[in-house]
Chains A and B, each alone.
Chain A
Amino acid sequence: MTYQAAFLALADPTRRQVFEQLRHGPKAVGVIAAQMPVSRPAVSQHLGVLKKAGLVADRAEGTRRVYYIDPQGLASIRIWLDQFWGDALTAFKAELDKEGSGK
């Protein structure tokens, strides 16, 4: 698995939202789909891509299958942090610009 594969997998905004849904713990496909404006098969498909990129893993829990962020897949963490700090600094700059123009 390469960072590049993982980056590509997260380039799709809907897929990124699916990934973000798993931040607070493992979830079943149906639970993820219920919180998003996309169909269950679409969510399954996104999860398949994320799994192939090494970003998420799955396991059987009773009769359903739950997905979780693979904590050993450090690539996922790095990608998340890379995007996060990018967003954070952009917001930081925007706030300073607002402050400056308000004077």
Chain B
Amino acid sequence: MISIAPVRKQVTVAASQQQAFALFTEGMSRWWPATHSTLKSPLKQYVVEPRVGGRWYAVAEDGSTGQTGYVIEWQPPQRLVLAWQLSADWQFDPELVTEVDIRFIAESDSSTRVELEHRNLQRMGERAAQIRGMVDAPGGWTAVLESFKKCATA
């Protein structure tokens, strides 16, 4: 099995743990890089529904939405784990789950270290292989073509 190293990043911010957690979640639209969106229309809002199982999605200016994933862990103000469900070709895939684990570590009342880890990236490759396998399997395109052939020759 292919293993791929997780992406790890950290940043120290001049804010309390509560402020940092709030901006990261409720305030995501204010800092999410606007250039990085899977939507065709400009990004208007990025929403993290504040509960386990809540959806994580983007809303474009034209009203269209695009889901990125869902909330796996919701532990304000210490920790947040989000499921990133965009495949290697940037499509939302409900069967794919890669995790973005974000920890907010209070260094003082006004300083917080934010550690982010995006892991299980190899699942993107496994899922791509699985989809290819489904298409190639007897129940996939072969079955569709067989049934087409039957109808066409009947």
Contact = CB atoms under 8 A, between A and B. Distances in A.
Contact of B15 (A20, A69, A86, A99): A99
Contact residues on B (Cβ < 8 Å of other chain), bracket: 35 or more
A92 B31 contact: yes
B4 A96 contact: no
Contacts of A81: 7, 118, 121
A74 interface: yes
A76 to B, nearest CB: 8
A41 interface: no
A71 B118 contact: no
Interface stretch (B53-61, B71-79, B85-93, B137-145): B85-93
Interface residues of A, number: 29
Contacts of A93: 11-13
A78 B4 contact: yes
Nearest to A23: B90
B36 interface: yes
Given A71-B88, A85-B116, A89-B114, A94 B7 contact: no
7 contacts: A72-B128, A74-B121, A85-B118, A91-B31, A96-B19, A96-B20, A100-B14
